[in-house]
């Protein structure tokens, strides 16, 4: 075999290997769009379907792994029964973590109650682990509620802007919420009400908190990170709902009811809303936008 033909053969073999690796990342996991059953998956340790495969290698089409960050009083198992498998099915390497337990709450699957700055440090360490395992240079982050706001602390104060391409927030508490909103969240999640008085993260998500004043002082965005906020006008936890939205460079704010008046989802339904989840796919890969079907979405609470 001539050197030229050998080179062509090696190139072809490498192309086949690359194709095989990309195909191996795609799965056909069931996607659970029902938030009532989705939130029943509470577990202190279980990963959601499709997440935390540490042998996953990003494909050329989706070179950045996606890190999923759950909300206050929740955990990775019950917040991501829809998006984790949806992203894995779409060919992404998907990772999720539990963070921020306090006062023994983590043993009950009730996380994200501790100091938000400490939670951001946990996220920083987890992103470092994901980058080391996958060989990627950056990740994308998708977060729900506190999980959409807390990464902004990581981006701004812990050097995360150099390691993140896109941050997508589902009903994020970017500018905080009223006291009524926090009490509402605690009342909606079984067992969470007993930790409401021991939840520093709750206090720091109040709209007038010093933590949020520090986070939002000056520019609300950092560097070249792209930000997408997806919110529902029916949000009963982040109140008013407009406090979720960001301003600044590289920001896209999406109101679900402007896309589809039939979407009656609220705060807890956001990760299980097929329209919001389609918007997540578009935010992560804007060159290939997904057009969600405008069909009825009911709230998880009282739906």
Question: For tokens 């290698």, what's the residue?
Answer: 57
Overall size of the chain counted in residues: 303
- The full set of domain ranges for the chain reads 50-284
Question: For tokens 């949806």, what's the residue?
Answer: 86
At residue 181 the predicted structure's pLDDT band, cuts being 50, 70 and 90, is confident
Position 26 scores a pLDDT of 64
CATH number of the structural domain 50-284: 3.40.50.1820
Calculate the alpha carbon distances from 122 to 61, 109, 129 in Å: 28, 17, 11
At residue 17 the predicted structure's pLDDT band, cuts being 50, 70 and 90, is very low
Position 9 scores a pLDDT of 37
Residue in 240, 239, 269, 237 with CA at minimum distance from that of residue 256 = 269
The model's pLDDT over 44-102, given as tens digits with 9 standing for 90+, comes to: 899 999 999 999 999 999 999 999 999 999 999 999 999 999 999 999 999 999 999 99
The model's pLDDT over 92-120, given as tens digits with 9 standing for 90+, comes to: 999 999 999 998 888 888 999 999 999 99
The model's pLDDT over 205-218, given as tens digits with 9 standing for 90+, comes to: 999 899 999 999 99
Calculate the alpha carbon distances from 40 to 81, 111, 303 in Å: 10, 15, 16
For the chain, give the percent of residues with pLDDT over 70: 89
Prediction pTM value: 0.90
The model's pLDDT over 219-233, given as tens digits with 9 standing for 90+, comes to: 999 999 999 999 999
Q: What is the rounded distance in angstroms from the CA atom of residue 281 to the CA atom of residue 255?
A: 16
Position 19 scores a pLDDT of 36
Position 121 scores a pLDDT of 98
The answer to whether 66 and 87 have CB atoms below 8 angstroms apart is yes
Task: Lay out the sheet containing 94-97: strands in order across.
Answer: 94-97, 66-69, 139-144, 164-170, 226-231, 251-255
Average pLDDT over all residues of the chain: 89
The model's pLDDT over 252-280, given as tens digits with 9 standing for 90+, comes to: 999 999 999 999 999 999 999 999 999 99
């Amino acid at each position: 075999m001539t050197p030229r033909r050998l080179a062509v053969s090696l190139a072809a073999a490498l192309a086949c290997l690359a194709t095989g690796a990309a195909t191996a990342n795609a799965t056909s996991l069931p996607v659970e769009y029902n938030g009532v059953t989705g939130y029943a998956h509470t577990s202190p340790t279980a990963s959601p379907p499709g997440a935390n495969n540490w042998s996953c290698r990003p494909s050329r089409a989706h070179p950045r792994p996606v890190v999923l960050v759950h909300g206050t009083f929740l955990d990775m198992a019950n917040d991501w029964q829809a998006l984790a498998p949806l992203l894995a099915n779409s060919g992404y390497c998907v990772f999720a973590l539990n963070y921020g337990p306090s006062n023994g709450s983590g043993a009950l699957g009730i996380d994200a109650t501790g100091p938000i700055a400490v939670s951001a440090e946990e996220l920083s360490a987890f992103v470092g682990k994901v980058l080391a395992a996958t060989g990627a240079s950056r990740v994308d982050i998708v977060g729900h509620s506190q999980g959409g706001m807390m990464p902004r602390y990581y981006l701004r104060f812990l050097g995360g802007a150099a390691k993140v391409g896109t941050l997508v927030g589902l009903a994020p508490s970017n500018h905080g919420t009223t006291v009524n909103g926090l009490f509402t969240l605690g009342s909606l999640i079984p067992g969470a009400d007993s930790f409401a008085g021991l939840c520093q993260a709750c206090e720091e998500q109040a709209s007038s908190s010093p933590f949020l004043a520090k986070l939002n002082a000056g520019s609300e965005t950092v560097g070249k990170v792209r930000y997408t906020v997806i919110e529902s006008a029916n949000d009963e936890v982040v109140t008013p709902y407009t406090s979720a939205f960001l301003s600044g460079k590289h920001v896209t704010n999406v109101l679900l009811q402007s896309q589809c008046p039939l979407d009656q989802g609220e705060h807890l339904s956001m990760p299980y809303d097929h329209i919001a989840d389609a918007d997540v796919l578009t935010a992560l890969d804007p060159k290939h936008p997904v057009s969600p079907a405008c069909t009825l979405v009911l709230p998880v609470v009282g739906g």
